[in-house]
Amino acid sequence: MDHPKRSRRRLAIAIVLVFAVVSVFVGKLVDIQIVRADELDKQSYDKRAIAVTTYAPRGSITDSNGTVLADSVTRYDITASPRNINTDRAATTVQGFADKIAAISKQDPSVVFTALTQHPDADYSLVSSAVTTAQMRAIVKLDLPGIYYVSHPVRTYPDGSVAGNLVGFVGTDGPQAGIENMYNSCLASTDGTTSYEQGADGVQIPGSSVTKKAAVAGGTIKLTIDADLQWFAQQAIAEQGTAIGAQSATAVILEVKTGKILADADWPSVDPNDVSATPAANRQALSFSAQYEPGSVFKGMSAAMLIDTGIGSPTMEATVPWSWKTPEGGRVNDAGEHAVERLTLTGVLQQSSNVGISMMGIKVPEKTRYDYMKAFGLGQKSAVNFQGEASGSIQPLPWDDQTKYNVLYGQGVSATALQVAGIYQTLGNNGVRLPLTLVDSCTKPDGTVTDTPSTSGTQVIASSTAKTVVNMLESVVDSGELASVTKIPGYRVAGKSGTAEVASHGVYTNDRIVSFVGLAPATDPQYEVLVTYTKPTTMKTSAAAAPTFKKIMTQVLTKYRVPPSTTPSTYPATTW
Amino acid sequence: MSSLPAYLPARAPREAQPTRHVEPNRHIEPNRHIEIVATRVQRRRRPRIVYAIVAVVGLFVILMAQLLLSIALSDGAYQISSLQSQQKNLARDKQTLTESLNVLQSPQNLAAQATTLGMVMNNSGSGWLRLSDGSVLKSPTAAGTSSATDPNGQALVTNVLLTPAVTAQQDARMSTPAAGNPATATAGSGNADVASGSIPAPNTH
């Protein structure tokens, strides 16, 4: 009160100062809360929020019983942040780190040591890749500061090379072969993303999880294959293939009434777990990709043409020398020299006489034969449309003077093993050719089923013709040259052998492709087995393939509990 | 508090009178007859202490409840977090076990193990009866010494997943008869004796 003026000035200054300070704060507040609010909000969210890629597994491939042939499992990459490796807490040296990790991941300790120390200031270094869950847990248990792990899915094939030729494999760049590649759209999964906010201790803040995109698992492909049967067939052809020194072999087992491929064995076959161990040529399904001149197994089809057109009959007669000069001046020979024989068409099949089938089959016009061959599925890919499948080839009309005889016994024409199997499926199924199926269905995780194959067949020959031909083919197994190695006690079996010459550079060589195909039970065929060996060295006749046929067919009949035939084999007369 | 204003006028004479205030009431007694007495209505309108207490306690309770709720919620977050990690671990366990089971049940392994145990594959031995007339369609035949296949002969149908470690894991779990059984002694080694026909005698208990 003594100095009112001074006092008032002081007050004024104080007020001005207070206002100045307050306005600075207000200005800053407005700037933070309103002007830059969005930007700052985002920055802070980004610090708290963790975006995570969520993985869904690639779909599995199973056999017809659900046995897993291909599956996705999780593997872990062990990574390090060399900057953060703290040896104090772990009370050991970096070398000690490396030794411990290497012992678990079965690596060279020096490699691990290099990974940990090469770039001491780096934040990331890959220590070991694709370790198993057990190894990852053991490494985590070591509790080494600065060591982390990243999970990622990998493909595994529990049955190894069983059906490896069909299943295919997935490489680092994605699916590369077989079903894995063909049905990738069904099997592939879609990665999702999710984000959540975390506190300082890394615990998720409740209610903060936001799924931006859900991960979608891949669908399951179910094959028509039976894994056990597939293994048996692979084992059987591998054993015999090794014994006769063959280059490769295939075995096909079909369910005649449905066209389902129950087994499709190739030897050698790839183990999808270790693709590099198999030469590139053997990484595919030979039964689909390899086309060859099938040889005498074609005679069954030629006989069917003769009977179906009404030109021939099971007892059609011919006088058959072992070597015959054709009217055009060419020559047709049988496999071995024999006396002149009076064979019926049935006898021609039983003896597998090239001369006999040429003499008779030539009576069917070329155009008709060509159309029949097309109708039997030759010269076109099967309904499976397998990766790398060959379509085989029929020479275009008109045929030259030799080809028109050769095609009757399966030379001068090429087919895949599956095409040959298709011919006998048609004969066994009352003349109705069904589309062959390898993939039964694709089932998506939500239960929708897609990729179910077509089952509509086409009538190629009359039902009666088919039955007659199958009956005639019983003569081969019952009393033909290979009867002793093909007859299955208790069952009536129809079959046909093939010993085809392999052409190279336009001439037939000494190499052979031997095969045997058969149907059982012959009275009402249920199953078909085709066995083929390419270029055997120690045994170059179909006698090499016949025992494997018998072994596999016996297994099939036992496995599927086919009742024995109640009557012995009877068939039309073979001679006259 | 409500009676405080009534005393104030009475304090003035106390200053003038140096007597000890042991008995002040006697001197102010004559003034009391002009005291303003609150009416019943006024008294009823006065704020009561109970309301204040209720309000304060209520506030406290709400704050406590909020605190507890928040503790419970964050505790739930920790529980969820721990359960999620437990679930992840169990899922990994399941996957690991499924993976090894799938490998162990592969045909190669089953066949090799069966052969090692001295079994042979007899794929044509089954018999057939017809129930309608009791006839025997096919007589069963006993297994011979040779197997339809020889899975232990050579690794023809390979499976690189069947490592010795995997099969050893399986052998350890099988309750194998202790000593004296030649078949178990050569587990996984592709014993030629077994395949060629010397079936070891079963170690019957």
Tens digit of each residue's pLDDT (9 = 90 or more) over A511-547: 889 999 999 899 999 999 999 999 998 888 888 899 9
The span from the CA of A196 to the CA of A190, in Å, is 20
Per-residue pLDDT for B18 more than 80? no
CB-based contact A160 B153, cutoff 8 Å: no
In angstroms and rounded to an integer, the radius of gyration of the C-alpha atoms of chain B is 50
Q: What is the pLDDT of residues A160-183, one digit of tens each?
A: 889 998 999 988 788 888 999 999
Least confident span in A11-15, A89-93, A466-470: A89-93
CB-based contact B161 A273, cutoff 8 Å: yes
Q: Would an 8 Å CB–CB cutoff place B88 in contact with chain A?
A: no
Q: What is the pLDDT of residues A387-419, one digit of tens each?
A: 889 999 898 888 888 899 999 999 989 999 999
For residue A196, give how far its alpha carbon lies from the nearest alpha carbon of chain B (Å): 12
| Secondary structure string (H, E, C) spanning A448-496 | CEECCCCCCCEECCCHHHHHHHHHHHHHHHHHCCCHHHHCCCCCCCEEE
Q: Which residues of chain A form CATH 3.90.1310.10?
A: 74-156
CA distances from B146 to A45, A289, B127, B194 (A): 73, 35, 19, 9
CB-based contact A564 B128, cutoff 8 Å: yes
Place of tokens 């005291």: B35
The span from the CA of A113 to the CA of A97, in Å, is 8
DSSP lists the bridge partners of residue A211 as A194
The span from the CA of A67 to the CA of A477, in Å, is 35
- In terms of pLDDT, which residue wins out, B112 or B56? B56
Return the residue in A196, A208, A232 with the most chain B beta carbons within 10 A, the one to mutate for interface testing: A232
The closest CB to that of B124, out of A134, A236, A554, belongs to A554
At residue A365, the pLDDT reads 92
% residues pLDDT > 70 (chain A): 97
pLDDT band, residue A111 (cuts 50/70/90): confident
Q: Would an 8 Å CB–CB cutoff place B151 in contact with chain A?
A: yes
Residues in B touching A568 (Cβ below 8 Å): none
Within 10 A of A334 (CB to CB), how many other CB atoms are there? 20
What would the CATH number be for the domain defined by A74-156?
3.90.1310.10
At residue A91, the pLDDT reads 63
For residue A25, give how far its alpha carbon lies from the nearest alpha carbon of chain B (Å): 30
The span from the CA of A322 to the CA of A340, in Å, is 7
The closest CB to that of A564, out of B106, B108, B138, belongs to B138
Fold of A227-559: Beta-lactamase (3.40.710)
- Tokens of residue A341, six digits: 């024989």
CB-based contact A73 B95, cutoff 8 Å: yes
Residues in B touching A555 (Cβ below 8 Å): 123, 148
pLDDT band, residue A509 (cuts 50/70/90): confident
Q: Which residues of chain A form CATH 3.40.710.10?
A: 227-559
At residue A360, the pLDDT reads 93
The span from the CA of A427 to the CA of A297, in Å, is 12
CB-based contact B159 A273, cutoff 8 Å: yes
CB-CB contact of A182 with A387 (8 Å) = yes
Q: Would an 8 Å CB–CB cutoff place B102 in contact with chain A?
A: yes
Q: Give the contacts of A14 (CB within 8 A, at least 6 positions apart).
A: none
Q: What is the pLDDT of residues A455-486, one digit of tens each?
A: 888 999 999 999 999 999 999 999 888 989 99
Return the number of CB contacts < 8 Å for A and B. 118
pLDDT band, residue B120 (cuts 50/70/90): confident
Q: Would an 8 Å CB–CB cutoff place B170 in contact with chain A?
A: no
- b/e per residue, A546-561, with b = 16+ CB within 10 A? bbbbbbbbbbbbbbee
For residue A113, give how far its alpha carbon lies from the nearest alpha carbon of chain B (Å): 27
The closest CB to that of B108, out of A160, A203, A269, belongs to A160
Phi-psi region of A451 (alpha: psi -120 to 50; beta: other; left: phi over 0): left
The closest CB to that of B77, out of A206, A238, A555, belongs to A206
CB-based contact A558 B153, cutoff 8 Å: no
* Cα separation of the two ends of chain A: 153
For residue A160, give how far its alpha carbon lies from the nearest alpha carbon of chain B (Å): 4
CB-based contact A235 B149, cutoff 8 Å: yes
Residues in B touching A231 (Cβ below 8 Å): 107-108, 111, 157
- In terms of pLDDT, which residue wins out, B146 or A292? A292
Amino acid at position A227, single letter: A
* φ, ψ at B113 (rounded to 5°): -65, -40
The span from the CA of A552 to the CA of A560, in Å, is 12
- Tokens of residue B47, six digits: 């704020």
Residues in B touching A157 (Cβ below 8 Å): 161
The closest CB to that of A206, out of B76, B105, B150, belongs to B76
Return the residue in A132, A161, A552, A556 with the most chain B beta carbons within 10 A, the one to mutate for interface testing: A161
CB-CB contact of B162 with B103 (8 Å) = yes
CB-CB contact of A476 with A496 (8 Å) = yes
For residue B85, give how far its alpha carbon lies from the nearest alpha carbon of chain A (Å): 11
At residue B35, the pLDDT reads 73
* A6 exposure class (CB count in 10 Å sphere: 0-12, 13-18, 19+): exposed
* A166 exposure class (CB count in 10 Å sphere: 0-12, 13-18, 19+): buried
% residues pLDDT > 90 (chain A): 49
- In terms of pLDDT, which residue wins out, A350 or B168? A350
